[in-house]
Amino acid sequence: MNKITGLIAATFAAYREDGTINLDIIPSLVDKMINDGLSGVFICGTNGEGPNLTIEERMAIAEAYVKAANKRILVLVHVGHSSIAECRKLAAHAEKIGADAISSVAAFYFKPTSVSNLVNSMAQIASAAPNTPFYYYSIPTLTGVGMDMISFLELAENAIPNLAGIKYTASTLHEYQACLNYRNGKFDILFGYDEMLLPALAVGAKGAIGSTYTFAAPLYIKVMKMYEDGLNEEAAAVHMNAVNMVRELVKFPPIPAQRALMKMEGFDLGKCRLPLEPLSDKDADSFRSALEGIGFFKVVKEALQCHE
C-alpha cells in the first residue's frame, strides 16, 4: 500500500435500542464519508469504542465496513486489545476479509515497559496478518504508554516486516516531524490531532486520521487545499473554525458529544456503552446552540459545496 494522503475518518460505533451493534447504518455512513471527500475510515478505534466491544462484534463491524466500502475508500481496522491473543485473532480476520490496513494501540492494562517490549508486542500482533500493512497507534493520553517514536521506528523496521507507519495521536509536533523524516520519509506517519492539522501540514503531514473528520471533513479538506495553494492566512482562518468547534466540543465528554453532533447531522448512532454515557438532552441542546453560535454547520456546508 502506498502512503495515505488526505483524511481518514475515525468512525463511531452504532447501537440499536437494545444495546446491540447496528450494522445497518454502516453503508450510509460510508457513503457520507465518500461524498465528503475522505480517503478512508478507521474503525473500532477510540471513537469506534473498540475496547467496549466484544471481538465478535468488532469482526462483524469490520466485515460490514469492508463490504460497504467495496474498495471505494480505504478501510483501516483497529485490532488493539489488552490481550495480544485477541489482537492476533482480530488481525488475522482483518486480513482474511480484505481490510486495507490494520493498527493497534499498546496494551493498556499490563503496559509495555520499554521500547523493545513495545516493539515485540506489536511484532506479535502484526505477524498474524503478514500481508497487511500495519500501523502502530500511538495515543499516550489514553494508553499511558508514551515512548520515543524514533526509537520505536529504529527497532520496529526490522522486527515488523509489514510496518507501514504510525497513527500519531499526540501534540508533540517536533517528534512527529522527526518521524516523518526518519530514513528520508520511509514510513507513513498519519497525524491524529484534528485541531492541529494545519500546523502538522506545515511540518510535512500528507495524511491524517481523526474523529471530527466524520462530521467536518469538508472544512479540513478546504484547509488542506488552501495550504497546498500557498494561501496560508486563508487556511489559518478556515482552520480556526475547526479549532472553535473543538473548543466547544471538549466542554463535554468528547465521544458522547461527537455522537450527539452526528445525530444533529442526521445519523442516530444510539446510546454509547458504559462507562461512556450519552449527553443529556439539556447538554445536547447547549452544544448545538454553541455550534450554531460559531457558525459551524454553515461553514461545513459551504466547504462541502466548494468541494463538490
Which helix (H) or strand (E) segment holds residue 260: the answer is helix 254-264
Question: Of 15, 89, 135, 167, which one is the catalytic site residue?
Answer: 167
**Radius of gyration of the chain from Cα atoms?**
18
Question: Of 15, 135, 136, 137, which one is the catalytic site residue?
Answer: 137
**Residues present in the chain in total:** 308
Which residues lie closer than 8 Å to 254 by C-beta, 6 or more apart? 211
- Please answer whether residues 265 and 304 qualify as being in contact, where contact means their C-beta atoms are separated by less than 8 angstroms: no
Check whether 61 is labelled as a binding-site residue: no
193 is catalytic: no
B/e letters for 208-236, b = 16+ CB within 10 Å, e = fewer, are bbbbbbbbbbbbbbbbbbbbeeeeeeebe
137 is catalytic: yes
Secondary structure E strands in the chain: 6-10, 40-43, 74-78, 101-104, 134-138, 163-168, 188-191, 207-210
Active site residues: 137, 167
Binding-site residues? 209
Binding-site residues for pyruvate? 209
